[in-house]
Structure 1
Amino acid sequence: MTDPRHQDVWIGVDLGTQSVRALAVTDDGQVLGRGSAPLTGHRDGNRHEQLPADWWSGVRTALRGTLRTVAASRVRGLSVCGTSGTVLLTGPDGAPLTPALMYDDGRAGAEAARAQEAGADVWRSMGHRIQPSWALAKLLWLTGPGADGAADALRGARVCHQTDFVTARLVGHPVPTDTSHALKTGYDLTTRSWPVAVHDRLGLAELDFPPVVLPGTPLGTVCAEAADATGLAVSTPVVAGMTDGCAAQLGSGAWDIGQWNTVLGTTLVLKGVTAAPIHDPAGVLYSHLSPDGHWLPGGASSVGAGALTRAFPGADLAHLDRLAAHREPAGAVAYPLVSRGERFPFLAADAEPFVLGTPRDDADHYAALLQGVALTERLCLAYLGLLGAPVDRAVTFTGGATRSAYWNQLRADVLGRRATVPAHTDSALGMAVLAAHGVRRAATDSGRAGPDAPLSDLRGMVRVRTVLEPRPRVGARFQEPFTALVDALEQRGWLPAPTAAYAREHG
């Protein structure tokens, strides 16, 4: 192992739902420092808001914690990821004019329908469908009659994504956004432009939409004020980040065509690598651009570990894991949505969590939730197969839920495929990888510069913790629960019949 004192250090920052996390990583994947800070928000029905000032406060705390064990002078660069679809409006000086509407805020249903109609041809060419959780729909809500602020006061306001708010404070001036965060605001990755005509039809022409750059593009360097606040050295490079799902993809090491990563945290995100975008007529799958020129198709489901914390607040989950191991399958089949509405592998704003049957006790209920997430994950992969995406290779697991060794093995069994768990599953690792990629790409000669520079030189930054082999005898026990879940979703009118039929036969 190379002496870490002689290696470059890269920092990744992850703005999550419940916390800010930062990681300092060497070229060979040694973690030299980490820090975190809690985040809180306000939920009320389908509304979910956070205060942008809390993001910056959390970043300051997390970075100072990371730098307790790392000399700031050794940090060669950093990058920041955030939740997809989270947006607010700011003044020209970056001061917030509105609260931040979070990734799963669902209040903009009518606005999403209006945006979809106004730009139907554009979205069809992109293979997208505007959803209530998308930032474009939320901008219509923020500037419409239902918003708290006066519309006149928002004329000329700047569209700001979660990471834009933080990186602007790091470098001391407004910054471009990245293609990853801009996608759900309607940015066209094919033409590399904002759909200005659609904005005009929607009445958004007076908003200031930021310039857009590829992930890994230098945004500037840490300013003196931010250095004082965070402990970073002045002039440390800051590069454009990605959404948290894309960041987890980089951190998983699943960088080759045909590889898929599933991020299981509060909710479930799937992201893969393809040579070209995957077209989805339903518009629930969308493709990001990878820093190395490939495409990252994927989608975000509203099932996830958040259902566990809601059903079993403060419980000893490790103890419940041990009990759940004896309930395979559970006596009930659960569809464990974290909040109302589903986004992937189907779009259903009225979808609600349900349980088929009656759990025998708390352990059985807990087992049903674990299994329900895994069954939905299996359905997601079946849908990707229906669209023609390659899904037959091993998968990687990242996200906070990978702390549960039992759940990891259960998911591998239910999916029926080998799974790899990296040593560090935080999306912050992906941003450390992107920081290294962006800074080094900018420094290379013209022969290696540009978005097609490979990530393979950074393979050593991602270490493997566990390789899980599926147990066919265990996996076979979940065929009946899987079919029951698919049937129930179809019967409720949420899952389209062709998807259900394909899942029953190939899932």
Structure 2
Amino acid sequence: MGIDLGTQSVRALAVTDDGHVLGRGSAPLTGRRDGNRHEQLPADWWEGARTAIRQTLRHLSAARVRGLAVCGTSGTVLLTDARGTPLTPALMYDDGRAGAEARDAQEAGADVWRALGHRIQPSWALAKLLWLVRADRGPGAPGFRGARVCHQPDFVTGRLVGGPVPTDSSHALKTGYDPRARTWPTAVHEELGLSGLDFPDVVAPGTLLGTVCREAAAGTGLAEGTPVLAGMTDGCAAQLGSGAWETGQWNTVLGTTLVLKGVTAEPLRDPAGVLYSHRSPDGTWLPGGASSVGAGALTQAFPGADLARLDRLAADREPASAVAYPLVSRGERFPFLAADAEAFLLGRPVDDADHHAALLQGVALVERLCLAYVGLLGAPVDGPVTFTGGATRSPYWNQLRADVMGRTAIIPEHTDSALGMAVLAAHGVSRGASATADDSVPVPLSALRSMVRVRTILEPRPRAGRRFAEPFVTLVDELERRGWLPPRTAAYAREHG
């Protein structure tokens, strides 16, 4: 069973070794958004997980669940007491209040981050922890000394096993963890004034965290004693669920925002620090980044609209009258870092269908730019790209993205991150679920290939793709003109993108 803690919902999926879905469930999530603030209550995650798990088990014996893993949004963090009770709300992945703290954390650990090949961004958990600690220094503040650092899945897995658990190396990355040395940067924590916090032990994804306790069994319907395994971030989970597990393969997750991840034999170094590399359960590396463009721009522009109808109309607007940069929220994280980046439209759409087409095309153009950027860093990007995420429900958008990128697109039968966590749970169980981050013996994911079924293979249409050559250059030029896209990246994209 895989459980995905998303932005708007919790989703659960139970799947057999040959990819047959036995059950699924979901529950909505809400949060507090106010300007650059985005918070959720951790108790809501647990209630949502309980509901989603119970729905998944409606027609399935709990005894059949051999293990489960949980993923969450990357960079989401909170503080708890030693027993796991929340002391703060959760600062979500796109909470943007920690800009100054990100700069301070980057400066304090510049040598560490340079060696790892990334930069600390305002969306990263380390910056948010520093913001929480600094915000707590006013008169009457309760004080967080001894408070435990908790990532989104840690809270739910802790409830499942009945107490605080180690975190996984995937979620720990944006909290400053070094996945190569397998250590926390304690000297950096000391300099930032974070040494008073309790940073959890870190284990490899797929490591056994414990088993479902009696109380959690009663609340979820799971069998007491069911193994609970360490998960990964939602982007990495989508990578596992996509079946893109071989070196040189890439996957794009298009939901509210856009995530691009691939597989390399070694970490991919990025001088600009906007790309970062997670460690895969089988010992390879998963470099990638998260852009702030995505399908969320559609719901913002057309709340409550029939998007399928707009898709049909958009098919006659290739290219649209306007070129869009469809940011969901202020600030960009990948393929360039620009805290002041804002959404824009070059040109004026003639109607809603034209506007919708511009947004669909804009996301695809940024996706193409992301792929060009990893090519600039030396990664192979010529092969097929796998599409996952909620946006794959749109057949038109899938084909458009394949056309704009000029790549064969592979769409799995099940495209949510919950499948990736089911794959990871199976991987952990298959190796005995007992390895730690220091003594794990990688097991090839290829042994689990039958868990991921392919739904559709789309070939790019060259004639359609050529229509977007000019809009792509127009977007690249504008991003460079505004000072957001570095000239070297822009030049490479114009020539090779």
The TM tier, using the shorter chain, reads over 0.9
Give the structure 2 partner of residue 44 of structure 1: 34
The whole-number CA distance in structure 2 between the counterparts of 1:185 and 1:231 is: 33
Give the structure 2 partner of residue 411 of structure 1: 401
Give the structure 1 partner of residue 460 of structure 2: 470
- Residue aligned with 2:113, SS: helix
Alignment of structure 1 residues 7-406 onto 2, 5 Å: 11-145=1-135, 153-406=143-396
| Paired residue type of 1:249 | Q
Note the C-alpha offset of 1:105: 0.6
Q: Show CA shifts across 1:310-341 (max 9, x none).
A: 10000001100000000000000000000000
Contact 1:81 1:431 in 2 (8 A): yes
Contact 2:402 2:460 in 1 (8 A): yes
Query: TM-score, normalized by length of structure 2?
Result: 0.98
Does 2:406 match 1:431? no
Contact 1:52 1:99 in 2 (8 A): yes
Note the C-alpha offset of 1:450: 3.2
Note the C-alpha offset of 1:152: 5.0
Contact 1:98 1:149 in 2 (8 A): no
Note the C-alpha offset of 1:237: 0.2
Note the C-alpha offset of 1:147: 7.6
Q: Show CA shifts across 1:348-387 (max 9, x none).
A: 0000000000001000000000000000000000000000
The whole-number CA distance in structure 1 between the counterparts of 2:32 and 2:321 is: 35
Contact 2:80 2:86 in 1 (8 A): yes
| Paired residue type of 2:262 | G
Q: Show CA shifts across 1:393-432 (max 9, x none).
A: 1010000000000000000000001000000001000000
Note the C-alpha offset of 1:107: 0.6
The whole-number CA distance in structure 1 between the counterparts of 2:266 and 2:40 is: 35
The whole-number CA distance in structure 2 between the counterparts of 1:317 and 1:397 is: 19
- Give the number of aligned pairs: 494
The whole-number CA distance in structure 1 between the counterparts of 2:429 and 2:461 is: 43
Evaluate the alpha carbon distance shift between residue 148 and residue 172 of structure 1 in structure 2; reply closer, same or farther with a 3 A threshold. Answer: farther
| Paired residue type of 2:156 | V
Note the C-alpha offset of 1:442: 1.3
Evaluate the alpha carbon distance shift between residue 341 and residue 408 of structure 1 in structure 2; reply closer, same or farther with a 3 A threshold. Answer: same
Give the structure 2 partner of residue 480 of structure 1: 470
Query: TM-score, normalized by length of structure 1?
Result: 0.96
Structure 1 residue runs without a partner (length 5+):
1-10
Evaluate the alpha carbon distance shift between residue 316 and residue 149 of structure 1 in structure 2; reply closer, same or farther with a 3 A threshold. Answer: farther
Note the C-alpha offset of 1:199: 0.2
Q: Which runs of 4+ in 1 moved over 4 A?
A: 146-152
Q: Show CA shifts across 1:456-504 (max 9, x none).
A: 1100000000000000000000000000000000000000000000000
Contact 2:253 2:260 in 1 (8 A): yes
Note the C-alpha offset of 1:145: 3.4
The whole-number CA distance in structure 2 between the counterparts of 1:274 and 1:151 is: 46
Evaluate the alpha carbon distance shift between residue 228 and residue 444 of structure 1 in structure 2; reply closer, same or farther with a 3 A threshold. Answer: closer
The whole-number CA distance in structure 2 between the counterparts of 1:301 and 1:464 is: 26
Note the C-alpha offset of 1:439: 1.0
| Paired residue type of 2:79 | L
Q: Show CA shifts across 1:263-317 (max 9, x none).
A: 0000000000000001000000000000000000000000000000010000001
Note the C-alpha offset of 1:146: 6.8
Evaluate the alpha carbon distance shift between residue 346 and residue 330 of structure 1 in structure 2; reply closer, same or farther with a 3 A threshold. Answer: same
The whole-number CA distance in structure 2 between the counterparts of 1:275 and 1:80 is: 25
Evaluate the alpha carbon distance shift between residue 321 and residue 148 of structure 1 in structure 2; reply closer, same or farther with a 3 A threshold. Answer: farther
The whole-number CA distance in structure 2 between the counterparts of 1:47 and 1:247 is: 26
Note the C-alpha offset of 1:69: 1.3
| Paired residue type of 1:457 | A
Q: Show CA shifts across 1:219-244 (max 9, x none).
A: 00000000000000000000000000
Contact 2:2 2:69 in 1 (8 A): yes
Contact 2:136 2:143 in 1 (8 A): no
- Residue aligned with 2:480, SS: helix
Contact 1:422 1:462 in 2 (8 A): yes
| Paired residue type of 2:92 | M
The whole-number CA distance in structure 2 between the counterparts of 1:443 and 1:160 is: 22
Note the C-alpha offset of 1:440: 1.2
Contact 1:264 1:305 in 2 (8 A): yes
The whole-number CA distance in structure 1 between the counterparts of 2:430 and 2:471 is: 49
Note the C-alpha offset of 1:153: 2.0
Alignment of structure 1 residues 438-477 onto 2, 5 Å: 438-442=428-432, 450-477=440-467
Contact 2:206 2:433 in 1 (8 A): no
Q: Show CA shifts across 1:32-74 (max 9, x none).
A: 1000000001111111100000000000000000000110011
The whole-number CA distance in structure 2 between the counterparts of 1:392 and 1:172 is: 47
Contact 2:136 2:142 in 1 (8 A): no
Q: Which moved more, 1:98-107 or 1:451-460?
A: 451-460
- Residue aligned with 1:355, SS: strand
Note the C-alpha offset of 1:451: 3.7
The whole-number CA distance in structure 1 between the counterparts of 2:49 and 2:389 is: 19
Contact 2:208 2:434 in 1 (8 A): no
| Paired residue type of 2:70 | V
